[in-house]
A and B are shown apart, each in its own frame.
Chain A
Amino acid sequence: MDILSLLTPIYFVLVFVGIVVGIIFGSIPGLTATMAIAVCLPLTYGLNLNMSLALLLGLYVGGISGGLVPAILLKIPGTPSSIATTFDGHPMHQKGEGELALRTGIVASLFGGVFSAAVLFFFAPALADMAIKFSYVEKFLIIFFALTVIASLSKRVLVGLFSGALGVWISLIGTYDTTVGGNGDTRLMFDFMEPYLADGFSLLPVLIGVFGLSTILQEAAQGVKGGGLAGMALSHRTRFSLRVFKGQMVNLIRSSSIGTFVGILPGIGGSAASVLAYTQQKNFSKEPAKMGTGVPEGIIASESSNNGLTGGALIPLLSLGIPGDSTTAVMIAAFTLQGVQVGPLFIGENPQTWDMIIVSLLVANLFMFVVMFFAIKYIIKVIMVPKHILYPGIIVMCVIGAYAINSGIMFDVWTLLLFGLFGYIAEKLGLEIAPFIMGFILGRSAELYFVKSLESFGNLTIFFTKSPIAMLLWVLIALSIGYSFYSVMKTNHQAKGANGG
Chain B
Amino acid sequence: MKKLTLGVCLALGGLIGATTAGMAADKMIEGNLRVVIGSNATSGDTYQVSAIVTEALGKKLGVDAKVDAVGPSAAFKALARVTDGTTIMIFHDQSYLGYLYGIKGYDDIFADYMVGPTLAINPGNGYLVPKKSPYKTLEDAIVAAGKGTKVRVAIQPGGVSEIGFSALKNAVKLRFPGQEGNMVAVNTGSQADKDQLLFDGQADIINGSVQANEQYTRLPAEDQKAMSFVWLTASHKAIAEARAEGFGKTSRDELLKFVEPNVNVTQDGKKNFVFDKDFFIIYNKNMKPELVAYFDKALQEIYAEGKIATAEKAAFFTPNFLPTAEAQPYLKNKMNDYGTIIKAIRQ
Query: Residues of A at under 8 Å CB distance from B?
Result: 13, 17, 20-21, 38, 41-43, 45-46, 129, 132, 135-136, 175, 177-186, 194-195, 198-199, 266-267, 316, 320-323, 329-330, 332-333, 336-337, 339, 341, 343-346, 406-409, 448, 452, 455-456
Contact = CB atoms under 8 A, between A and B. Distances in A.
Given A21-B5, A329-B43, A266 B48 contact: no
A104 B70 CA distance: 38
Interface in B73-116: 73-74, 77-78, 98, 103-105
A344 B219 contact: yes
B71 A178 contact: no
B193 interface: yes
B215 interface: yes
Contact of B15 (A20, A38, A46, A267): A46
A178 B159 contact: yes
Contact of A199 (B71, B98, B219): B71
A406 B315 CA distance: 25
Contact of A181 (B189, B202, B211): B189
Interface centre among B51, B78, B196 (most CB of A within 10 A): B196
B199 A132 contact: yes
B68 interface: yes
A181 B193 contact: yes
B293 interface: no
Interface centre among B68, B74, B202 (most CB of A within 10 A): B74
Interface string B45-63: 0011001000000000000
Contacts of B16: 42-43, 45-46
Given A195-B77, A345-B219, A135 B202 contact: yes
B69 interface: yes
Given A13-B8, A409-B74, A135 B200 contact: yes
A452 B104 contact: no
A333 B200 CA distance: 28
A183 B68 CA distance: 25
B25 interface: no
Contacts of B186: 456
B42 A330 contact: yes
Interface string B174-202: 00000000000011111111011101101
A346 B215 contact: yes
B42 A41 contact: yes
B21 interface: no
Contacts of A21: 5, 9
Interface residues of B, number: 62
A43 B12 contact: yes
Contacts, number: 147
Contact of B103 (A184, A199, A337, A455): A184
B157 A407 contact: no
Contact of A339 (B74, B157, B314): B314
Interface string B282-307: 00000000000000000000000000
Contacts of A456: 186, 197, 202
12 contacts: A21-B9, A45-B16, A136-B196, A177-B189, A199-B73, A266-B192, A322-B192, A332-B43, A339-B314, A341-B214, A341-B247, A346-B215
A266 B190 CA distance: 11
B231 to A, nearest CB: 20
B157 A183 contact: yes
Contact of A344 (B42, B48, B191, B216): B216
Contact of B315 (A42, A183, A323, A339): A339
B189 A179 contact: yes
A493 B70 CA distance: 52
B219 A185 contact: no
A198 B213 CA distance: 32
B80 to A, nearest CB: 10
A45 to B, nearest CB: 7
Given A185-B104, A198-B105, A345-B215, A407 B9 contact: no
Contacts of B214: 341, 343
B188 A321 contact: no
Given A43-B12, A452-B188, A406 B71 contact: yes
Contacts of B218: 345
B267 interface: no
Contacts of A13: 8
Given A344-B215, A452-B188, 5 more contacts: A132-B225, A180-B190, A322-B192, A333-B41, A336-B43
B158 interface: yes
A344 B315 contact: no
Given A20-B5, A456-B186, A198 B47 contact: no
B156 interface: yes
B87 to A, nearest CB: 10
Contacts of A408: 34, 68, 70, 78
Contacts of B9: 17, 21
Contacts of A330: 42-43
Nearest to B315: A339
A446 to B, nearest CB: 15
Nearest to A334: B43
B5 A181 contact: no
4 interchain residue pairs of minimum CB distance:
A343-B215, A180-B189, A407-B68, A181-B189
A332 B77 CA distance: 28
A409 B70 contact: yes
A199 B74 contact: yes
B43 A17 contact: no
A343 B223 CA distance: 14
Given A329-B43, A330-B42, A408-B70, A183 B187 contact: yes
Nearest to B158: A178
A329 B43 CA distance: 7
Contacts of A345: 215, 218-219
A115 B331 CA distance: 53
A184 B106 CA distance: 10
Nearest to B5: A20
Interface centre among B5, B186, B247 (most CB of A within 10 A): B5
A341 B70 contact: no
Given A17-B5, A132-B199, A195-B77, A321 B215 contact: yes
B212 interface: yes
Contact of B188 (A38, A181, A339): A181
